[in-house]
Amino acid sequence: MRYKELHTTITQLFIRPKTSWNAVIRQPLTFKKFLYRDWMPLAGLLCLVVFGLQLIHYSILQSIGLSIIYFITMVGGFRIVYPITREYLCRKLNYSEQEVLSLIGHSYAIYFIFQSIGQACGDLFIGQVFILFSLLFIRTLYFGISELSNYQSQHQTNILIISALSIIFIPMLIKQLLTIIFGIPAIHV
């Protein structure tokens, strides 16, 4: 994994999305390369952080279970979110798969970095702040869509709504299903 480059890219997209997207979208990227080289190691690192923070509130076994759930949610959610948005953006609006992967992959990463830490902190104030910061991925996504788009504003709005709702709700559904399957009380997750 290119930790330094990925860290710089995500930081720039979070801090200055309007000026950063042009360079990010033009980077050569394939789904397998992004998934295995960038996203899975990042998800693994986030799971280690979640595990450490969960130890504050839960037993070691429950912390391990929650970390596994977060990893499956992050990776599985991306594997579902990307094809859904790719179908709409590539087939209907003729974007390239590389542009869609960059748009969804980096926005999803920003969302999950903050969401994971916020969820792991639980009901603490700092956890709620991180969860609110996770919604800033919508701003990053908006500027990315603006950078891609030569379409009228209605298509930009549709792209933003479909992408943002997919990124937020599909992983949430996966996580809730896994908590039910593993028998972890959903009220504590």
| pTM value > 0.85 | yes
Domain around 59: 31-188
Give residue-wise pLDDT tens across range 116-170: 999 888 888 999 999 999 999 999 999 988 887 665 566 888 889 999 999 999 9
The count of domains in the chain is 1
Nearest CA to 63 among 118, 123, 120, 124? 120
Tell me whether residue 65 is in a domain. Answer: yes
Measure Cα distances from 126 to 63, 116, 122, 171 in Å. Answer: 19, 12, 9, 22
* Domain contains 15: no
Residue 8 falls inside a structural domain: no
Structural domain includes residue 14: no
Residue 20 in any domain: the answer is no
Q: In whole angstroms, what is the distance from residue 103 CA to residue 63 CA?
A: 32
In three state form, how does the secondary structure of 101-161 look?
Answer: HHHHHHHHHHHHHHHHHHHHHCCCHHHHHHHHHHCCHHHHHHHHHHHHCCCCHHHHHHHHH
Domain-located, residue 112: yes
Task: State the Cα–Cα distance between residues 103 and 25, nearest whole angstrom.
Answer: 7
Determine the length of the chain: 189
